[in-house]
Amino acid sequence: MSAIVGIDLGGTRIKGAIFEADSGRLLAKDTLPTRDGEREGGEPAFLFQARQLVATLEKLAGVEATRLGVSAPGLANRDATAIAYMAGRLAGLEGLVWSEALAKPGAVLNDAHAALMGEIWQGSAKGMRDVVFLTLGTGVGGAVVSDGRLLRGHLGRAGHLGHLALNFQGEGDICGTPGSLEDLVGNHSVRHRSGGRFDSTRSLVDAVEAGDGFAREIWDESMRALAAGVASLINAFDPEAVLIGGGISEAWDAIQPSLSRWLDQFEWRPGGFQVEIRRAKLGEWAGVYGAAAFALERE
């Protein structure tokens, strides 16, 4: 049996899983602490942890993996061998060629890109060829697959959908984009958007569900901004579906009706075709699945 490992490197945890290559069947999965900022044997400790994780997965599955896919934050280089740009976090990640470090052939990609690849392989977008993916969390990330091809761009920046400008007169976000979708929807800006009333999306949604009128206004404005961003992305990429993932998607029962109501106003629907809005299925394991799927694709 041929097997493949997917690794998702995060700031706190490294998640991994081993799959049967032909069927995609999950054989085993596990996690280890990342140990960001530590060293082990003269190398970043996360590399030692990754080796341990791969060995554990192979032991649990009773098979040695022939290929390895790695999902990580930052911009992957053009030949998908390493993360080329990742400033300020995970020291030692930039330029690390994982196939050499772990002695297995494979591929490396951005974590949001990986999440979408995972959803297409075994999640909410299984089998689709045109998909836009938005991850709503502290900020807003994303990825796009068009005609079956992951859009990576010249530097690997493609898919940073949270930095779509919705108000050219707005304040610049962390990338300098004025009035960005990220600043209008992301968890990091809830306190600012609510005038200090709420500290998180969860507390805002709880207040909405409790009947707080002010919270309802703030939430509805957030969903209006999200719908404007989604409608713009639909026009740009013409997807079969738009997936919504990330921590904020846990509030799906609050997101779906409000987002749909605004999209009824904003979305261009030629011939009556309405793009389906779906919640992502794989959650925090999407990057693991996507890393494995990407490595399989590049065999």
Per-residue pLDDT 10s for the chain (299 aa) are 899 999 999 999 999 999 999 999 999 999 999 999 999 999 999 999 999 999 999 999 999 999 999 999 999 999 999 999 997 789 999 999 999 999 999 999 999 999 999 999 999 999 999 999 999 999 999 999 999 999 999 999 999 999 999 999 999 999 999 999 999 999 999 999 999 999 999 999 999 999 999 999 999 999 999 999 999 999 999 999 999 999 899 999 999 999 999 999 999 999 999 999 999 999 999 999 999 999 999 87
- The number of folded domains in the chain is 2
Q: Please check whether residue 123 lies inside any domain of the structure.
A: no
Q: Are residues 216 and 138 in the same domain?
A: yes
Q: Are residues 97 and 223 in the same domain?
A: no
**Domain range enclosing 153:** 128-280
Q: Are residues 47 and 183 in the same domain?
A: no
- pLDDT of res. 87: 78
- pLDDT of res. 226: 98
Q: Are residues 163 and 263 in the same domain?
A: yes
The whole-angstrom separation of Cα 156 and Cα 81 is 12
- pLDDT of res. 109: 96
- pLDDT of res. 16: 98
Q: Are residues 199 and 97 in the same domain?
A: no
Q: Are residues 289 and 261 in the same domain?
A: no
- pLDDT of res. 88: 79
Q: Are residues 151 and 96 in the same domain?
A: no
Say which CATH number the domain at 164 has: 3.30.420.40
- pLDDT of res. 160: 94
Q: Are residues 134 and 276 in the same domain?
A: yes
The percentage of the chain sitting over the pLDDT mark of 90, rounded to a whole number, equals 97
Q: Are residues 162 and 90 in the same domain?
A: no
The whole-angstrom separation of Cα 142 and Cα 123 is 16
DSSP string, 101-157: HTTS-EEEEEHHHHHHHHHHHHSTTTT-SSEEEEEESSSEEEEEEETTEE---SSS-
Q: Are residues 112 and 178 in the same domain?
A: no
Contacts of 73 (CB under 8 A, 6+ apart): 9, 10, 11, 83, 86, 89, 90, 110, 111
Q: Are residues 157 and 274 in the same domain?
A: yes
Q: Please check whether residue 244 lies inside any domain of the structure.
A: yes
- Lookup result for tokens 């490396």: 108
List residues bridging with 8 in a β-sheet: 15, 71
Alpha-helical regions (H) of 186-268: 190-193, 201-209, 213-237, 252-266
| Strand pairing report for 67-72 and 106-110 | parallel
- pLDDT tens readout for residues 211-233: 999 999 999 999 999 999 999 99
How many helices (H) and strands (E) in the chain?
9, 14
Q: Which amino acid is at 136?
A: L
Q: Are residues 274 and 156 in the same domain?
A: yes
Q: Please check whether residue 289 lies inside any domain of the structure.
A: yes
- pLDDT of res. 1: 84
User: What are the two backbone dihedrals, phi and then psi, of residue 201, each rounded to the nearest 5 degrees?
Assistant: -60, -35
- pLDDT tens readout for residues 116-174: 999 999 999 999 999 999 999 999 999 999 999 999 999 999 999 999 999 999 999 99
- pLDDT of res. 298: 84
